[in-house]
Structure formats: C-alpha cells, structure tokens
Structure 1
Amino acid sequence: MRRLPAESIPRVPEPVRKVVRNAIWTYGRATSRWRPLPDFLVIGAQKAGTTALYAYLRWHPGITGPSWKEVSFFDRHWWRGEAWYRGQFPLRAGEQLVGEASPSYLFHPLAPERARSLVPGAKLIALVRNPVDRAYSQYQHEVALGREPLSFEDALAAEEERTRGEAERLAADPRAFSRAWWDHTYSARGRYAEQLERWLAVYPREQLLVVATEELGERPAETYASILAFLGAAPHELVEYPRVFDRDYEPMRPETRAALAEAFTEPNRRLEALLGRSIGVWHAQRA
C-alpha cells in the first residue's frame, strides 16, 4: 500500500525534529516573499481523516503544499506572523493550487477571523466524522500518547471541568496554548454546527465544503472527485485511497455509545439544518 507522507513524521526523534523544524522555519521566513499564501485550507475536524485527505490532495499533480500536515498557524502560531506562515509553503509553484491541513482550525475560537484577515479568498474543506466515533478515536489517541489517565467515561464526565475557561484564555492571549483544550475536548469537538457557524460568519457559504468522513471512506474516488471540483482542480484519479493511522482498541461500551449518541442528537440535527441535508450514514450507524 502506498505510504502516506505524513506517516513518516512521528517516526523522527523529537530532538532531530526540532533541529530540522527550526532550520526550515529560518529558511522559510528568509524566503517568504517568494512563497504564496494558500488557496485552500483543510480546517478539520480532528480525528476525522484529514491526514488521508491531505495526502490524496498532494498526490494530485496540480496541487502542492507543505510536505507535513498541521502548520497550525491560525491557532498555535498566529503570533509568529505572516512571513513565518508563508515560509511553510513551497516557493512559487506556477499554476499549482496551494493548500494546507490543520484539523484544529475548525475548533479554535479565533481561527476563522484570523484566516479571513489573511486569506479571505481561500476555500475551506471540513471533514466531519460521526461525533461518537470521533470522540472515542481522540480518546484512544491521547491514551496512546500517555496524556490521558482516565477511563473514557470518566474523561467525558471530567471534560467540562478540565476545560472551563480555557477558550477564553486562548482568545485573550495569542501566544496561549491550552493542553487541556487541545487534548481533552472529546465531546466539544463533535458539536460541529457551532464551529462551522463561526466560519460562516466571516466566509461566504460557497467557499466552504463539508464532507462526512464516512463518505470519503466508503466512496473515496467519488468524494475525492467532488473535492477536486470544489477546489477548481483538474479531475484526477488515484490508484488507491489508503487509510491512515487505523488503530485496534477495545470497542466502546454499548451503554456509553448509546448515551453519547443521545447527547449528540440535537447537535447533529443542528448540523444537518445548517448543511441543508441529512448525513444518512450517521443515522444508519446509530440504527
């Protein structure tokens, strides 16, 4: 199976990563005037397939971008400035479309206004995964990284207390970073409508494409074609559409799944009303 470019990143030792990263940042900033701003952003959601989608897009001959995913400029690195951001992108790429994917953008309270101020013409792609499965995937990711000591049920119960006031702190200080907000927002990140509404408050609706992760997984060629059409890229077919970072872990308790599904019923209705369509695959999964 074809290897996704982003897969190589976690395998590099952290000290080496820091040296390479700083060297790239320094060179990129020095040559920023010759580097374009992005034509599109994959804004999220976290644990919704953005790594795979970004790889598919970069395999298109008419699309380019950073060789790594998650530049995270409009959330974590905004204070570094435009020259730093431009430095993440390739030198002038002719007629190629340029984009990047940072799945935390969707959720960050200030990312929409920041993006609008710098790239008002950018097209936006949001992947939304069944929020029940997305929450559990994020939890398992945090457990694997050693950042989550609680059971899933206890982590859900503790989420509100753990993250109280963190969004306000992020909004008040452009250099602020919240580990709790980044790691432990299992339920909050699945309330997609309120996040998309922030983006639609500053971007025209025609610049936003929302795609269900399950659609990309079940009908990858068809969904990929629709994304390319939205971006204005030439049609292109891949030989394969590999998945990435699939992990095997114990299934969620049935009672926990049922409770989460119930909790997300109204947020999902709000999302479907916002999109003007039903996400039928989620209803089928619940049934």
Structure 2
Amino acid sequence: MNNLTLSKDSAPRWLKDAADIATRSYAQLTAPNRPAPDYLITGTKRGGTTSLFNYLLMHPGVMGLFPQVREKKSTDYFFKELERGDTWYRSHFQTEAYRKLKGSQLGYRPISGEASPYYMWDPRIATRIKASAPQVKSIILLRNPVERAWSHYQERVQNGVEPLDFVTALHLEDERMSSEYAAIEDGSEEYSEAFDFYAYRERGNYLPQLKNWFAKFDLDQVLVMRSEDMYQDVQGAVDQVCDFLEIPRHELPTKRTFNARKKSTPMPSEARDYLTNYFADRNAELFDYLQVEPFWKIG
C-alpha cells in the first residue's frame, strides 16, 4: 500500500466529501472539453465486467474515470444520477487537452470508459446512452446463465440482502419481480434495488437484452464475448477487446480475477435442473440470433 492510498483511506469523511465536491465542481466547469466515453462494458452481472475493466486499466492507453485516484468503475449515471445532466456525466472523463498530451507520449489517442452490468439489464438505458454517446462502443460479456444465476444469488446472500434459499428464490422470482418490471416499464421508478438484486433467472435471459441493445447501436459498435473464454484466456480476450477498441495490444502484468466470490456449497440439484430446462430453448434462440456455435452445453 502506497502513501497516497494510506492518506486517502485514513482521511476523515468530511474531508473526503469536501474533496469530492471540489473535484466534481472543477470537472464540470471543464466538461465542454471532456468527450463522451469511448467504450462501455455493459454486461452481464457476475460475468466478469469488473475483471475486464481492471484489465483494460492496466493498458497505458486506457484512462480511468476522473479523478482516477478514486478507482471508480461506474458513474451509475444512466439509472441513478440522470437528473444531474450530461455535463455532470462528462465530468468523469479525461479532457481532450490531457488526452493530447498523453497521446503525444504514446503515439496514439488514449481512450476512457466505464463498466456497469446494469446498463444492459434496464431496457431504457440503451436509448439514453445513444442520446448521450452515440458513437460509443460496447463490450458485452455473456456467462453461462445457469452458473451466472447461482453466482448472483451467492453475492446477494453474502451481502446480507437475500433471506430466501436459492430454490425458493427461483420459484418466487416472477412474484417478487412483477411489480418491479411494471414500475420500470411505466417509468414510475427510476431505480429499484429489487430489480437489480433478485432477477437471478431473467438476467440470464440474454436475447431480449441484446435485441434491445442492437436496436440502438450498429453491429460494429458492439462486441459480444463469452465470459468463460475470458476466464480461460485472459490475455487473448483482452487482445480481442484492444483490437475492437482500436488500441495497441498490451501484455498484462497480472491475470488475476477481480471481484470473485468466496467458494461455497454446490448449486442445489433441483435449482440446476430447473434452470437447465428453462434456458435450453432460450439459449438455442440466442445462438441462432448471434449466428454462433453454442456457447454453453446445457441440457
């Protein structure tokens, strides 16, 4: 741990808040010189978005959110902070002046972006992003939906916000989520923790989410990757992303996983059977839509 980290961690809350206000005020004043993000990592939850974001930050030509010392992954702008406006959003990205300075050292223009798996999940967000950053490129990681659901559930349990066992949570998902879906659809709720937290099954139903995204963005603006491929070959996956973002490839100093959950008991067989049956046809439709060989063997 370096001295800057020690100082930041030991600072009193009021000092951190004052620093945040001052930094954001300055950043908003210079927002006209701050471009929209070059890329977004938009999905899926528990699919490796945090790891991929951190791998990209190891690249000398990829800049973190401003100020980078905060080490933030996402602004949450398009679902929690929309009322702050586009000036506030752009204040999180580096200025063109700084990019030109850094670019003169690198020999190419550096890029910046953010990561939020919620961006793909909420059906309203693609339209908002298109309006704010029409040229942005999106990277979408898709994980085996059966394993993704179990990992999502484990995260909620470990965070102390899920009182139900997994089988019960799956069987009650439609009942728990019906009012949440309605509130999102009619716009009466901007953000709901329940909508974010408890859709273990439906967040793995990728085809409707992808169709919504592709309805707003051109094919060459979206890269769909299999999470398991990144886990198996981190450098190869990051190389593919670099090619997509049109920056030079870069050898990673580490390939460790970020935001991994603690190991726990195996998924209950009843839940695995239920999810396997649920996703069999849906995955077949997904692969047909993407015109790819099956990503996962299910059923």
**Structure of higher CA gyration radius:** 2
> Distance in 1 between the 2:11 and 2:126 partners?
33
1:61-115 per-residue CA deviation (whole Å, 9 max, x = no partner) reads 1111313112222222222210111112223323211211111101111011111
| Conserved? CA contact 1:212–1:279, under 8 Å | no
The number of equivalent residue pairs is: 275
Which residue number corresponds to residue 53 of structure 1? 52
Which residue number corresponds to residue 103 of structure 2? none
Which residue number corresponds to residue 239 of structure 2? 225
- The 5 A counterparts of 1:132-281 are 132-173=146-187, 176-246=190-260, 247-280=262-295
> Distance in 2 between the 1:264 and 1:121 partners?
33
> Distance in 2 between the 1:60 and 1:99 partners?
13
Match of 1:250, SS?
coil
Match of 2:293, SS?
coil
| Unaligned runs of at least 5 residues, structure 2 | 1-5, 66-70, 101-108
| Conserved? CA contact 2:58–2:253, under 8 Å | no
Judging changes above 3 Å, is the alpha-carbon distance between structure 1 residues 43 and 239 closer, same or farther for their aligned structure 2 residues? same
| Conserved? CA contact 2:140–2:225, under 8 Å | yes
* 1:194 Cα deviation after fit: 0.6
Judging changes above 3 Å, is the alpha-carbon distance between structure 1 residues 174 and 22 closer, same or farther for their aligned structure 2 residues? farther
> Distance in 2 between the 1:71 and 1:159 partners?
28
| Conserved? CA contact 1:77–1:175, under 8 Å | no
Q: RMSD value over aligned CA atoms?
A: 2.4
Q: TM-score normalized by structure 1?
A: 0.88
> Distance in 2 between the 1:13 and 1:77 partners?
26
Residue 74 of structure 2 is aligned to residue 70 of structure 1: yes
Which residue number corresponds to residue 42 of structure 2? 43
| Unaligned runs of at least 5 residues, structure 1 | 1-7
Judging changes above 3 Å, is the alpha-carbon distance between structure 1 residues 17 and 121 closer, same or farther for their aligned structure 2 residues? farther
Of 121, 130, 142, the residue aligned with 1:107 is: 121
Match of 2:210, SS?
helix
Of 80, 84, 88, the residue aligned with 1:80 is: 84
Judging changes above 3 Å, is the alpha-carbon distance between structure 1 residues 103 and 13 closer, same or farther for their aligned structure 2 residues? farther
1:13-44 per-residue CA deviation (whole Å, 9 max, x = no partner) reads 99679826555444432332222211111111
Judging changes above 3 Å, is the alpha-carbon distance between structure 1 residues 29 and 171 closer, same or farther for their aligned structure 2 residues? farther
Of 91, 94, 101, the residue aligned with 2:95 is: 91
> Distance in 1 between the 2:178 and 2:214 partners?
25
Judging changes above 3 Å, is the alpha-carbon distance between structure 1 residues 16 and 147 closer, same or farther for their aligned structure 2 residues? farther
Name which of structure 1's ranges 112-121 and 171-180 shifts more when overlaid on structure 2.
Answer: 171-180
Q: Percent identity?
A: 33
Would you tell me which structure has more helix in proportion to its own residues?
2
Which residue number corresponds to residue 3 of structure 1? none
> Distance in 2 between the 1:267 and 1:14 partners?
50
* 1:217 Cα deviation after fit: 0.5
> Distance in 2 between the 1:179 and 1:120 partners?
28
Match of 1:75, SS?
helix
Name which of structure 1's ranges 147-156 and 78-87 shifts more when overlaid on structure 2.
Answer: 78-87
1:256-287 per-residue CA deviation (whole Å, 9 max, x = no partner) reads 2122111111221121112110244x21xx47
Judging changes above 3 Å, is the alpha-carbon distance between structure 1 residues 175 and 254 closer, same or farther for their aligned structure 2 residues? closer
* 1:221 Cα deviation after fit: 1.3
* Structure 1 moving runs of 4+ over 6 Å: 11-14
Q: TM-score normalized by structure 2?
A: 0.85
| Conserved? CA contact 1:113–1:202, under 8 Å | yes
Judging changes above 3 Å, is the alpha-carbon distance between structure 1 residues 114 and 51 closer, same or farther for their aligned structure 2 residues? same
In structure 2, what residue type is equivalent to 1:240? Answer: T
